[in-house]
Amino acid sequence: MLVGVDIGGTFTDLVLSDGGQLKIHKLLSTPANPAEAMLLGLAQITPGGLEGLTQVAHGSTVATNAILERRGAKTALLMTAGFRDVLFIGRQNRPQLYALHPQLPPPLIPRSLCYDVPERLDYRGEVLLPLNLAALDAILDDLAAQQVEAVAVCFLYSFINPEHEQQVRARILERGLLPAWQVALSSEVLPEFREYERASTVALEASVRPVMARYIHRLRQALPARCGLRIMKSDGGVMSADSITEHAVQTALSGPAAGVIGAFQVAKLAGYDRVITLDMGGTSTDVALCPGETTFAPEGLIDGLPVRVRLLDIETIGAGGGSLARVDAGGALRVGPESAGALPGPIVYGRGGQHITVSDASAILGRLDADHFLGGSLRLDVDAALRALAALAEKTGLEVIETARGVIEVANASIERAVRRVSIARGHDPRDFTLVAFGGAGPLHACEVAQRLGMARVLVPRHPGVLCALGLLLADVRVEKSLPVLATASRGLVARLRATQAELLAAGRSALRAEAIPDAAMHFRVLLDMRYVGQAYELTIPFEGDVVANFHQAHHAAYGYALEARPVEIVNMRMQATGTMPRPALESRLPVAAAATPAFLGDKPTPEGGTLALYDREKLLPGMHFHGEALVFQLDATTYLPAGWQAHVDGYYNLVLEPT
């Protein structure tokens, strides 16, 4: 039995696959100790006991929350002498351009725990000043006295010559100060140039390792010994819990990753492999482009701190169901980024919300239905929302209903801008893609967003509320290794890299074997990060054929020009090893064209003068079809089908929505 477990702020979702049969379970989260709900859920979903479990895949926010709340381990940063303030100076710019009183996020490590270590390499990795062991010992005395729990080491040019960093770790071990894994070396965590980003990443890594290790230890004890445990990383791959402890920072931005994997895999199974995922929740919306595969970004930010790890290229915007609407001093209607959050939440929830949110606007337009919202368990106070909206409408000078539509439109416009950023800005036309909507509010907005972008299809998966848990079940094991090259591309260099490639592949193979992946399920890709000599940003191209010619071509495609006379530099060679998992079969049956009458619940008038047909998602079977304007209810999401759109249910019970 395989289980995917996603722990959210409100619910913990589990999806179990047993010989191809899927079982879904949802329970309330236990934020104080997230593992509690997970273990309880596992017990509930496996009536025969946990012994039958072979693999649990899990998305963890433990590292993310530890960073956001600055509750990581007490960590010291050891820098090359002269550079101990690197985390404080950053890139020297202020985060807000126009602010009377610009502010920085609180530091991860207090300045008193940042140390200058006498040592220095030059840019070729040659030793200018040897590591001063006496000075190091004095610093280590101080670390012992301060009872530091973790150490991050970031020396200049350690990505070329890691010896000094390794000597520091050796000395810490020799003195029995900390175990090896509580010392994070920048040459291992991120062997790349740019000292600030590297220091920030290794500092984050060191500070979350102990937190992650404690968490994993607790989980491990509760799970049967033979049950594997895998954790999702920010790149949408999973890794065994034992290895993740030394790559803890790679989970820090994994929050939205499982949903993207789930949405992409479900759509692919249904026959759509070029998709844009739209995950709209209460406070934010995540959008990602998958042109036949998932795409990646080299760096992210967490609470203003750079983390240079490979992550799924996800654009997040502060517009969700709970985002607040207001009219600003210039008379424009604004939505977000301020949010009503879970409490007080939208006005219609009747939990003390006072300000109009996107969800309130949806309720006023009749798109949330009191009888079917969360299975009818929560009443909606639409009248209260109407009263608040009247005040807002007065400021816009528009009718109340027009204003409600406006709130939705402004939210949709910012989602549209996010979709453009991940597609058009990267050279892809969104009209060639299917929009896969999930999250509590995604299916409510998807058709209108698609319409704005000229997209011809929206797919709402069968279980939009547990797509993250499903994604965990479907995620591949991913291991990536990179080698800094930093040399001008030449025939000789390429020949040398061909030789080194074998080493990288061998390392990838053994890493996958350690993850219990059979050889037949292993896939490898070797890529080169390349740029013109003098540029700072690389384009990544496959290590195949004439790489220099391919680079010129890729540069032309990306920027509209190529400088063929200029030398080209190879910055890194990277190997991506993927272990594909046996995919659980999703329930399917042959679609039989039929009217959706058995799922029809009735009609209701809209305040705009239309009529909404209401359908029960549970009763929609493959092949059934119907027209908009309609609403489809299911426990954890409502789908809105505008007039001029039609829907049919595919063989996997997905809703496929298309303009007529």
Partner 1 sequence: MTVDAISLEVFKNLFIGVAETMGVTLQRASFSPNIRERLDFSCAVFDAAGRMVAQAAHIPVHLGSMPASVEYALRSFERLNQGDVVVLNDPYRGGTHLPDITMVSPVIAGGEVVFYVATRAHHADVGGMSPGSLPLSTELYQEGLIIPPVLLRLSGWMNEGVLHLITANSRNPEERLGDLEAQLAAHRSGEERLLDMLARYGVPPTLAHAEALLAYALRMTEAVIADIPDGTYTCTDALEGDGQREMEIPIRVAVTVQGSRMHVDFAGSAPQVAGNVNAVLAIVRSAAWYCVRLLAAEDVPVNHGCFVPVTVEAPAGSVVNPYFPAAVAVGNTETGQRVVDVVLGALAQALPDKIPAASQGSMNNVTIGGQQRGRAYVYYETIGGGHGASPAGEGLSGRHSHMTNTRNTPVEALEYTFPLRVWQYALRDGSGGEGRERGGDGIVREYEFLSKATLTLNTERRLRRPGGLHGGGPGQPGLNRLLRQGKEVLVGGKYTTTMQPGERLVIKTPGGGGWGRPE
The one-letter amino acid code at 298 reads: P
Judged by CB under 8 A, does residue 593 bind partner 1?
no
* Minimum distance, C-beta of residue 129 to partner 1, in the bound complex (Å): 10
| Helices 195-222 and 34-45, axial angle in degrees (round to 10) | 40
By CB under 8 A, name the one of 314, 347, 400, 410 that touches partner 1: 410
C-beta separation of 177 from 190 below 8 A? no
* Minimum distance, C-beta of residue 347 to partner 1, in the bound complex (Å): 20
Instruction: Report the distance separating Cα 220 and Cα 225, nearest Å.
Output: 8
Of 258 and 411, nearer to partner 1 (C-beta) is 411
Of 121 and 152, nearer to partner 1 (C-beta) is 121
* Minimum distance, C-beta of residue 564 to partner 1, in the bound complex (Å): 12
Q: Which of residues 374-403 bind partner 1 (CB under 8 A)?
A: 395-398
Tokens of 56: 């649990």
* Minimum distance, C-beta of residue 99 to partner 1, in the bound complex (Å): 7
Instruction: Report the distance separating Cα 459 and Cα 243, nearest Å.
Output: 36
Of 120 and 617, nearer to partner 1 (C-beta) is 120
* Minimum distance, C-beta of residue 541 to partner 1, in the bound complex (Å): 15
Three-state DSSP state, 389: helix
What is the SS3 assignment for 598-655?
HHEEEEEECCCCCEEEEEEHHHCCCCEEEECCEEEEECCEEEEECCCEEEEECCCCCE
C-beta separation of 87 from 114 below 8 A? yes
559 exposure class (CB count in 10 Å sphere: 0-12, 13-18, 19+): exposed
Of 104 and 370, nearer to partner 1 (C-beta) is 104
Of 83 and 373, nearer to partner 1 (C-beta) is 83
Instruction: Report the distance separating Cα 357 and Cα 280, nearest Å.
Output: 14
* Minimum distance, C-beta of residue 557 to partner 1, in the bound complex (Å): 12
* Minimum distance, C-beta of residue 325 to partner 1, in the bound complex (Å): 10
Of 202 and 219, nearer to partner 1 (C-beta) is 202
Q: Which of residues 90-129 bind partner 1 (CB under 8 A)?
A: 90-94, 97-104, 120, 122-123
List helix spans (H) across 92-132.
none
Instruction: Report the distance separating Cα 164 and Cα 370, nearest Å.
Output: 65
C-beta separation of 1 from 20 below 8 A? no
Q: Which of residues 138-157 bind partner 1 (CB under 8 A)?
A: 156-157
Instruction: Report the distance separating Cα 466 and Cα 484, nearest Å.
Output: 40
The one-letter amino acid code at 175 reads: R
Nearest CA to 238 out of 438, 521, 4, 540 is that of 4
Of 306 and 465, nearer to partner 1 (C-beta) is 306
Tokens of 244: 């993740």
Q: Which of residues 517-546 bind partner 1 (CB under 8 A)?
A: 532, 534-537
By CB under 8 A, name the one of 171, 420, 604, 625 that touches partner 1: 420
* Minimum distance, C-beta of residue 558 to partner 1, in the bound complex (Å): 8
By CB under 8 A, name the one of 138, 301, 506, 558 that touches partner 1: 558
| Residues in contact with partner 1, shown as a per-residue x/- string from 482 to 511 under the rule CB under 8 A | ----x-------------------------
Q: Hey, which residues does 572 pair with through a beta bridge?
A: 484, 529
Instruction: Report the distance separating Cα 290 and Cα 435, nearest Å.
Output: 10
Tokens of 167: 């000597």
| Residues in contact with partner 1, shown as a per-residue x/- string from 300 to 339 under the rule CB under 8 A | ---------------------------xxxxxxxxx----
* Minimum distance, C-beta of residue 153 to partner 1, in the bound complex (Å): 16
DSSP state of 330: T
Question: What is the size of the binding site for partner 1 (CB under 8 A)?
Answer: 66
Please identify, among the stretches 51-59, 188-196, 227-235, 283-291, the one whose residues bind partner 1 according to the rule CB under 8 A.
188-196
Instruction: Report the distance separating Cα 168 and Cα 142, nearest Å.
Output: 14
* Minimum distance, C-beta of residue 482 to partner 1, in the bound complex (Å): 16
One DSSP character per residue, 322-381 reads TEEEEE-TTS-EEEEEEE-TTTT--GGGTSS--S-BHHHHHHHTT-S-TTTGGGGTS---
Of 123 and 138, nearer to partner 1 (C-beta) is 123
Interface ranges with partner 1 (CB under 8 A): 82-86, 88-94, 97-104, 120, 122-123, 156-157, 193-197, 327-335, 395-398, 405-406, 409-410, 413-414, 417, 420-421, 424-425, 486, 532, 534-537, 558-561, 563, 566
